[in-house]
Amino acid sequence: MFEQLLAEQNRQWRGGLLEAGFEREVTKELMEEYISTKHIIALLGVRRCGKSTVLKQIINYLIGQKVPPENLLFLNLETPLLETYKNDPVNLQKIYEEYIALANPKKGMIFVFLDEVQFFPKWQVFVKSLYEKGGVKFFITGSNSQLLSAEMATLLSGRQIIKKIHPFSFREIAVIKNVDVKDKLAIAQSGAVLAKICGEYLKMGGFPEVVLEEKDDLKRELLANYYRSILYQDIVPRFEIKKTKEVESLLLYLFSNIGQGFSYNSLGKFSQIQGKTAKEYIGFFGKSFLLAEISNYQFSLKKQENYPKKIYAVDNGFMETAAFSFSENFGRLLENTVFVKLAMSGKKIYYYKNSFECDFIIKEKTKITAAIQVTKKIDSMNEKREMGGLLVAMEKFDLKSGLIITEAQEEEKSVNGKTIKIIPLYKWLLKV
């Protein structure tokens, strides 16, 4: 019943490698650290960020390690052909049994790659059953953080390793464009070229298809299609949203006000919905990896909840394409780019506001380890505000050094016994 689907999605059975684009940095990490573990590897991230490509790169790696191609099963569960079967996990077992009969895998470990598993609501039942029998290693991808839900954690407790997948990093884009960034000397020699590439990255972001597309109008069309498909194919049906006009209006407003403080009640008034509904919608955006919230850091969680939140986009391209136009958005693009890089690190991110404001505070374990300010440039008009915000945070959290990320400036200052480093964005993104 599923033989044609299996054959079409598993071209590796006919010999050779899969077409898998530029090797991602995360692919190397996965191959080095997690291939030999028995854990289920879950790759989570926004749609179109390259999760399927990473799976195919892992398949190619395994073939290179002499794993028989017949022992590698790839399934894209989002395909329309599976729509009528998705509500019964028994169908996944049937597909697997047909795979065994069709491909006749060799003796040894079988690797199963399930792409966009959320389209089979009870996929965990199938995975857990096969996992417990042994002899099968799972890699799964998903575009919704509900894969991290309590239900999944309970069912697969101790069996899964979660890895976040992001659009291309700036370093990956530089490599794709054949710019050497392997060390400080190489970066210094290519400074002008890297600054230009960084300017493009600020506007269009890092979605793979967008980066590889040459025409700006097509880049914008791709990005517009991305956020609309996430909204109307994922968020609206999955969370059963009735007020589609209001939810899109809120999303566009947030894309247009990246880095600005807000309360749920103020957002509700803008979108003509209740504050608690605005909070719920923002939660949906977060679960689909479109947007992320950060809080004003306070030692008391209760106090923290009383301060305005800030919102950031998973990719700058959404700001450029989906946001309402405003006269000066460079500073927001710069700030969002810094957030995206920090988010890739997996560290906890906050902002800090007292008498002045510091854009980002980084927490590792129980300690604040870094304070970062972001501005296009430091000049006489903003030096007091930008320096002040950083110094207040450094004093508050007992930090000896702080960082200001700019478009092009670079220098180091000593203020009140503390060191402030000013660095261009492209150098910070390529920190080696």
Task: Provide the domain count of the chain.
Answer: 2
- Token pair of 379 as six digits: 């000049």
Q: What is the reported pLDDT for 327?
A: 45
The Cα–Cα gap between 84 and 69 comes to 29
The Cα–Cα gap between 96 and 100 comes to 6
Q: Among residues 419, 411, 111, which one has the least CA distance to residue 427? A: 411
Domain encompassing residue 150: 3-164
Angle at 420 between CA 415 and CA 424, to 5 degrees: 145
Question: To the nearest 10°, the Cα dihedral for 270, 275, 278, 279?
Answer: 140
User: Same domain for 158 and 272?
Assistant: no
Could you say which of 103, 130, 164 is where a domain stops?
164
User: Same domain for 158 and 178?
Assistant: no
User: Same domain for 143 and 207?
Assistant: no
The Cα–Cα gap between 404 and 402 comes to 7
CA 110 → CA 62, 302, 305, distances in Å?
Answer: 11, 48, 47
Directed axis angle between helix 244-256 and helix 264-271, to 10°? 120
User: Same domain for 185 and 315?
Assistant: yes
User: Same domain for 182 and 265?
Assistant: yes
> What are residue 224's phi and psi, to 5 degrees?
-65, -40
Sorted by sequence, the CB contacts under 8 Å of residue 267 that are 6+ apart come out as 250, 253, 254, 275, 278, 282
- Side by side, which strands form the sheet with 40-44? 72-76, 110-115, 136-142, 40-44, 160-164
Could you say which of 108, 133, 164 is where a domain stops?
164
CA 391 → CA 59, 354, 383, 413, 419, distances in Å?
Answer: 49, 11, 12, 12, 10
CA 163 → CA 30, 96, 143, 260, 288, distances in Å?
Answer: 9, 25, 12, 29, 15
User: Same domain for 312 and 334?
Assistant: yes
User: Same domain for 253 and 105?
Assistant: no
Could you say which of 129, 164, 199 is where a domain stops?
164
Q: What is the reported pLDDT for 320?
A: 83
User: Same domain for 219 and 138?
Assistant: no
Cβ neighbourhood burial of 280 (10 Å; 0-12, 13-18, 19+): middle
CATH number of residue 120's parent domain = 3.40.50.300
User: Same domain for 193 and 320?
Assistant: yes
The ranges of the chain with pLDDT < 50 are 327
The Cα–Cα gap between 297 and 305 comes to 10
What b/e sequence results for 17-53 when a residue is b if at least 16 CB atoms lie within 10 Å of its CB, and e otherwise? ebebbbbbebbeebbeeebeeeebbbbbbbbbbbbbb
The whole-angstrom distance between residue 6's C-alpha and the CA centroid of its chain comes to: 29
The Cα–Cα gap between 49 and 166 comes to 6
- Token pair of 52 as six digits: 């399927």
CA 429 → CA 47, 175, 266, 278, 307, distances in Å?
Answer: 23, 13, 34, 33, 30
Q: What is the reported pLDDT for 238?
A: 87
Q: Does the predicted model carry a pTM greater than 0.75?
A: yes
User: Same domain for 411 and 304?
Assistant: yes
User: Same domain for 424 and 344?
Assistant: yes
Q: What is the reported pLDDT for 322?
A: 79
Q: Among residues 376, 362, 372, which one has the least CA distance to residue 334? A: 376
User: Same domain for 15 and 117?
Assistant: yes
